[in-house]
Amino acid sequence: MSSPRELKNFIGGAYVAAETDQTTDIVDPSTAQVVAKAPVSTQADIDSAYGAADKAFAEWGQTTPGERQEALLKFADALEQRSDDLIRLEAENTGKPHALTASEEVPVMIDQLRFFAGAARVLEGRASAEYMKGHTSWIRREPIGVIGQVTPWNYPMMMAMWKIAPALAAGNAVVLKPSDTTPETTLLMAEIASQFLPAGTFNVVVGDRDTGRMLVEHKTPAMVAITGSVRAGMQVAEAAAKDVKRVHLELGGKAPVIVFDDADIEAAVEGIAVAGYFNAGQDCTAATRVLAAPGIHDDFVAALAEYAKKDAKVGMPDDDDALLGPVNNENQLAHVSGFLDRLPSHATVSAGGNRVSGLGDGFFLEPTVVSGLNQDDEAVQDEIFGPVITVQRFDDEAKAIAWANGVEYGLASSVWTKDFGRAMRVSKALDFGCVWINAHIPLVAEMPHGGFKHSGYGKDLSMYGFEDYTRIKHVMANIES
Ligand SMILES: NCCCC=O
């Protein structure tokens, strides 16, 4: 086995050794082997990254939208050419199946980059006019400045893209800290981008929770954006408040999936299983919490359990038939297993519930179906973030909506029915930033992703997400002077 790669930060357009000897192991979760050693960056590294970003902003912030589009489109092409390297590194940090990363993640994130490259040129404002006699007013949409960003381990590349693409397209410079377990593809993205962006426009600092805290608390960024846990989001918002920084928070979910008895059950089972087990359920929009109508509940649980046992294949990254790989790290394995160990006696496990045997030392869990839970059970209320789907039986539409909304989260949801009126009513009543009808999990670059309640505020993707990375200035001219 080759020796672990020694990682460096990417600052000012080059790899730079961190000002520390402290490192953490980057572990491939499909083998439990150490593949790299990452520095635990310190205040000096954060200072240096923000210094580089500040300098770069003076240049990047003055480019025309067309120039930014051209640079970002070249970045997208170059990412496409390096997709094999990105997929391999992503798998070594996450254990994801190569084939699914190639089909479901890389083309999607490159499309998102191209969307924001084009968006740079079509920002909108209200009409300019003489709202006061003799004075013309108009709006400028400007970059905010330097942005600090923190990304999670579930989709390291794609979450980095959701953060950097709108920020860079709007003319901002970025310092990004990837998760401590999955930094490698983000570093490679910064290296690739550096061919097309002024040095220091996109910097990556690797480290742990303390590094993230220093990144957020630093005086330089005018905005901080994070995808992460509710706890982390609250800390970021608190730290940012001291300096009145803008805050953009995407903090997870507990998506309800309401299945009425007139739904196409076969399609619902497959759609929900794929949306619940994809990426081993480590998705803030995962179809994790099914609410099934009384007439179909038992058949639905049986069919979902069968799908979990027979069709939802768990495999190594090079297994082209695998739907899911391992969970991301040992802590996450303990977190998910803890929920399963603590299930109340009224719960029934119809599929899974254990570690997968026969796949070596990796952190693999069986696709799991749990029914019989009560609304206030922790497996219904809290984010499990693993391959576990719960199913509850509801009595009527009002109860389904009440239970669906009866959690702290408000990110994503779905309703499965052939009744158009019911689909409309329920989609209005659901207190979530996204409602799918007879579908769950697809995303497009043009539409926003972001939640309500403890799922945070601010949107990723779409023109709404793009506008979050701009500031509005009113200019008023005396036209009679
Ligand atoms: N399906 C993408 C969801 C992003 C957050 O986990």
Task: Name residues contacting ligand 1 (CB within 6 A).
Answer: 154-155, 283-285, 441, 443
Centre of ligand 1 to C-alpha 35, Å, is: 25
CA 250 to ligand 1: nearest atom: 5
Ligand 1 pocket mutation pick from 109, 283, 413, 462 by most atoms within 8 angstroms of CB: 283
Centre of ligand 1 to C-alpha 283, Å, is: 5
Tokens 């402290």: give the residue: 22
Q: How far is CA 313 from CA 28, 29, 462, in A?
A: 19, 17, 33
Contact 391, 301 (CB under 8 A): yes
CA 286 to ligand 1: nearest atom: 1
Residue 276: what pLDDT? 98
Centre of ligand 1 to C-alpha 19, Å, is: 33
Query: What is the reported pTM?
Result: 0.97
Tokens 């990682």: give the residue: 7
Residue 400: phi and psi, rounded to 5, are: -60, -45
Ligand 1 pocket mutation pick from 288, 449, 455 by most atoms within 8 angstroms of CB: 449
CA separation for the pair 119, 171 (Å, rounded): 12
Please name the residues in contact with 127: beta carbons below 8 A apart, sequence gap of 6 or more.
none
Tokens 């399963």: give the residue: 340
Active site residues: 250
Residue nearest to atom 2 of ligand 1 (CA): 283
Contact 336, 327 (CB under 8 A): yes
Neighbours of 479 (CB within 10 A): 10
CA separation for the pair 164, 150 (Å, rounded): 10
Centre of ligand 1 to C-alpha 284, Å, is: 5
CA 282 to ligand 1: nearest atom: 6
Helical axes 209-217 vs 230-241, angle rounded to 10°: 30
Long-range contacts formed by 455-459: CB under 8 A, 24+ apart: 455/250, 455/251, 455/252, 455/253, 455/284, 455/409, 455/410, 455/411, 456/233, 456/248, 456/249, 456/250, 456/251, 457/247, 457/248, 457/249, 458/225, 458/247, 458/248, 458/249, 458/250, 459/433
Centre of ligand 1 to C-alpha 441, Å, is: 8
Residue 423: what pLDDT? 98
CA separation for the pair 163, 149 (Å, rounded): 7
Task: For residue 216, give the amino acid letter.
Answer: V
ipTM of the complex: 0.97
Centre of ligand 1 to C-alpha 281, Å, is: 10
Contact 198, 81 (CB under 8 A): no
CA 460 to ligand 1: nearest atom: 4
CA 285 to ligand 1: nearest atom: 3
Residue 481: what pLDDT? 86
Centre of ligand 1 to C-alpha 285, Å, is: 6
- Using a 10 angstrom Cβ sphere, with 0-12 exposed, 13-18 middle and 19 or more buried, the burial of residue 413 is buried
Tokens 């092409």: give the residue: 77
What are the residue ranges in the chain where pLDDT is below 50?
none
Ligand 1 pocket mutation pick from 153, 159, 327, 411 by most atoms within 8 angstroms of CB: 159
Residue nearest to atom 5 of ligand 1 (CA): 284
Centre of ligand 1 to C-alpha 252, Å, is: 8
CA 441 to ligand 1: nearest atom: 1
Contact 401, 430 (CB under 8 A): yes
End-to-end CA distance of the chain: 76
Ligand 1 pocket mutation pick from 284, 414, 440 by most atoms within 8 angstroms of CB: 284
